[in-house]
Amino acid sequence: MSAPVRLQDVAPDRARFRDDVWHGLSLPRKTLPCKYFYDARGSALFEAICELPEYYPTRTELSIMERHAGDMAARLGARCLLVEYGSGSSRKTRLLLDRLEAPAGYVPIDISRTALAASARALTDAYPALEVLPVCADYTEPFDLPHPQRTPLRRAVYFPGSTIGNFTPPEVASFLARMARVAGRRGALLVGVDLKKERAVLEAAYDDAAGVTAAFNRNLLVRINRELGGEFDLARFAHRARWDEQAGRVEMHLVADRAHSVRVAGRAFSFARGETIHTENSYKFDLAQFAALAAGAGLAVREVWTDDARRFSVQLLSVEA
Ligand SMILES: C[S@@+](CC[C@H](N)C(=O)[O-])C[C@H]1O[C@@H](n2cnc3c(N)ncnc32)[C@H](O)[C@@H]1O
């Protein structure tokens, strides 16, 4: 039987979710924050996406981790506290944990309560000597970091999955600076950064033939209907994913197929035919561009591990001074 895992829970509540949805749907260009994709079903759909033939990022990042996790662990050093942003299933983390020397603890942070609780339980079973301190939070908001029983020699912030690409470049710089503050003096960041590539590969990754990403995108409306008494008709909204070369990002949208109006928690929002809700950005970077963003956040790129085709990178950044 699994040992109970205590979860520090400061995730956004229903009122916050409603206010964010009302705000996003009131904008001239409707948008919803991508963090709300991740309820229990959204997390399960994301795991299904990771197995799709078109979705190269997970496969590629895993291959980089399998090849270089030993080197990464050596660079992070003994007795480090590993803090992970958007930990999800923590699948990639296990490759690191297998190689880290006597880690002081592991702090997985995720907004998706069920996914976080399940992965924290599984990790506690798999690594009985490891102190696992899960935090259910929106990492874009301030929250307290739990203290492990063993004093760490260093903090390392792990942010895999190319989730950093959900932020615009100016936001990337400020989010890196925020993670650098969490890592503290002599701290390190290990970040999964997806790289620019051909349009066809990028668009297929976010619009797979089996329609799993479409279901993931529409699940946001399913969630609004369930949690906020929304009245979205799912059949009225099509999934769309497009690479915007100039902006350097894949945009995901939900496109209304006709003019109609939708009530959410007592407020009505009207849609024109073809009007979209912008649900996610996935920025892709080149190495020089990411290094410049890191430098702007007071971080230096110490190592870049990539796959042979240079599709994806895992980057070690150190906090300067
Ligand atoms: C793209 S998935 C990556 C999951 C995993 N790290 C991986 O590499 O496969 C993004 C993860 O970040 C979490 N997440 C997204 N936005 C978040 C936020 N604002 N605060 C906390 N967690 C968030 C999601 O629940 C999800 O587990």
Task: Return the domain boundaries, the chain.
Answer: 56-197+284-319, 221-283
Protein residue with least CA distance to atom 9, ligand 1: 161
Under the banding of pLDDT at 50, 70 and 90, the label for residue 5 is: confident
- Domain 56-197+284-319 belongs in CATH node 3.10.20.30: no
Enter the tokens of residue 66: 């399998």
Protein residue with least CA distance to atom 15, ligand 1: 35
280 CB burial (10 A radius; 0-12, 13-18, 19+): buried
Calpha distance 242→194 (Å, rounded): 16
Strand-pairing partners, residue 9, are 136
For a substitution probing ligand 1, which of 16, 20, 35 has the most ligand atoms within 8 Å of its CB?
Answer: 35
For 59-95, what is each residue's pLDDT tens digit?
Answer: 999 999 999 999 999 999 999 999 999 999 999 999 9
Give yes or no for residue 163 CB within 6 A of ligand 1.
yes
What DSSP letter does each residue of 233-267 carry, written as one string? -GGGEEEEEEEETTTTEEEEEEEESS-EEEEETTE
Which pLDDT score, from 0 to 100, does residue 1 have? 54
Calpha distance 285→80 (Å, rounded): 29
Give yes or no for residue 35 CB within 6 A of ligand 1.
yes
Protein residue with least CA distance to atom 17, ligand 1: 35
Enter the tokens of residue 287: 């190495």
What separation in Å is there between the alpha carbon of 122 and the centre of ligand 1?
18
For 214-272, what is each residue's pLDDT tens digit?
Answer: 999 999 999 999 999 999 999 999 999 999 999 999 999 999 999 999 999 999 999 99
Nearest Cα neighbor of 208 from 61, 59, 50, 58 is 50
